[in-house]
């Protein structure tokens, strides 16, 4: 089965909604059931791609995406989280990831015929691993602060190798150039904490005709520069449909994903890895 990998770098805040209310957050982002990582559900992602195709008046839309009468030529997997931006009190923001996510990326790369990362890092709880070439200075020499938490800081040349493996999923050269200096690998449990509790929650309000509050709700969003990826797979005998989609999505190509399109949320820049 022929397949492609598509990187999606958020250019604006992103709200891939779940449609379910949990706790005090009225509109949380969609999450994987087992890991609780934010996710872009495959059906929503396929719908966003189809909306783009219809807006740009592509040919063979039905053959690629299907219709009520039958399936299309491609399958679209869930958008999986790869890098999550987090505030740092000791410098510029950091992109965080963890060994489990990197292992999963390697398995997915093998599905599209790539070798994968073949890099093993095992940070301990409370430890972060950063690139060895990172500049020294101040508290950052021993500790790194992410949000309100401090982590013991270690260095490894392998972080640069990880960054090189991720770069093909990013469209902008300027972002690629600073990836290794901002990349941080955390223990799986520490990453899970930020993935569950480190997202922005915004208060939204609706006013009546007299400018009085009619409805107040709280909405969870992912920050700009969050990186997701997805697999696009051709059904048997439909490889040409996938090739057609690949050609249409060549950079520069943008896709609006999730809710709040009218307030500018959900815009991602795509990068195709074949």
Return averaged pLDDT per consecutive 10 residues of the chain, 274 residues in all. Answer: 91 85 79 95 95 91 86 93 94 95 95 87 96 56 90 94 95 96 97 94 79 81 97 92 91 89 94 86
Q: What is the pTM of this model?
A: 0.92
Q: How far is CA 9 from CA 175, 268, 271, in A?
A: 10, 5, 8
pLDDT of residue 68: 77
Distance CA 9, CA 23 (A): 29
Distance CA 262, CA 49 (A): 18
DSSP 135-180: PP-GGGGTEEEETTEEEEEEEETHHHHHHHHHGGG---HHHHHHHH
- C-alpha dihedral over 94, 81, 67, 3, to 10 degrees? 100
Phi then psi dihedrals of residue 8, to 5 deg = -130, 105
As given in the structure block, the two tokens for residue 97 are 């990831």
Sign of the Cα torsion 154, 156, 158, 161 reads positive
pLDDT of residue 138: 41
Using omega within 30 degrees of 0 as the cis cutoff, is the peptide bond preceding 252 cis?
A: yes
pLDDT of residue 22: 64
pLDDT of residue 20: 64
Cβ count within 10 A of residue 116: 15
Cβ count within 10 A of residue 109: 21
pLDDT of residue 139: 43
Sign of the Cα torsion 187, 190, 195, 200 reads negative
Distance CA 216, CA 205 (A): 4
Give which of 111, 251, 92 is closest to 170, Cα–Cα: 251
State the distance between the two ends of the chain, measured CA to CA, in whole angstroms.
13
pLDDT of residue 137: 46
pLDDT of residue 226: 98
Distance CA 63, CA 72 (A): 5
Phi then psi dihedrals of residue 113, to 5 deg = 85, 15
pLDDT of residue 140: 44
């Amino acid at each position: 089965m022929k397949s492609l990998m598509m990187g999606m770098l958020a250019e604006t805040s992103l709200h891939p909604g779940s449609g379910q209310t949990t706790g005090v957050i009225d509109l949380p982002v969609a999450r994987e059931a087992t890991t609780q990582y934010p996710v872009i559900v495959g059906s929503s992602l396929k719908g966003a791609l189809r909306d783009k195709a219809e807006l740009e008046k592509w040919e063979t839309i039905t053959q690629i995406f299907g219709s009520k009468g039958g399936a299309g030529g491609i399958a679209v997997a869930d958008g999986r989280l790869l890098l999550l931006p987090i505030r740092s009190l000791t410098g510029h923001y950091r992109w965080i990831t963890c060994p489990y996510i990197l292992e999963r990326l390697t398995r997915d790369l093998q599905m599209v015929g790539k070798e994968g990362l073949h890099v093993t890092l095992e940070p301990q709880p409370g430890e972060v691993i950063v690139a060895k070439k990172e500049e020294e200075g101040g508290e950052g020499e021993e500790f790194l602060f992410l949000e309100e938490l401090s982590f013991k800081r270690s260095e490894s040349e392998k972080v640069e190798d990880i960054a090189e493996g991720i770069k093909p999923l990013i469209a902008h050269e300027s972002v690629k150039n600073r990836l290794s200096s901002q990349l941080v690998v955390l223990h799986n449990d520490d990453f899970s904490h930020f993935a569950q509790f480190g997202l922005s929650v915004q208060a939204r309000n609706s006013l009546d005709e007299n400018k009085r509050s009619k409805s107040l709700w709280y909405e969870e969003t992912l920050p700009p520069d969050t990186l997701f990826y997805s697999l696009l797979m051709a059904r048997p005998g439909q490889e040409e449909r996938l090739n057609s989609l690949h050609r249409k999505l060549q950079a520069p190509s943008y896709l609006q994903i999730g809710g709040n399109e009218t307030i500018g949320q959900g815009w991602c820049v795509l990068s195709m890895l074949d």
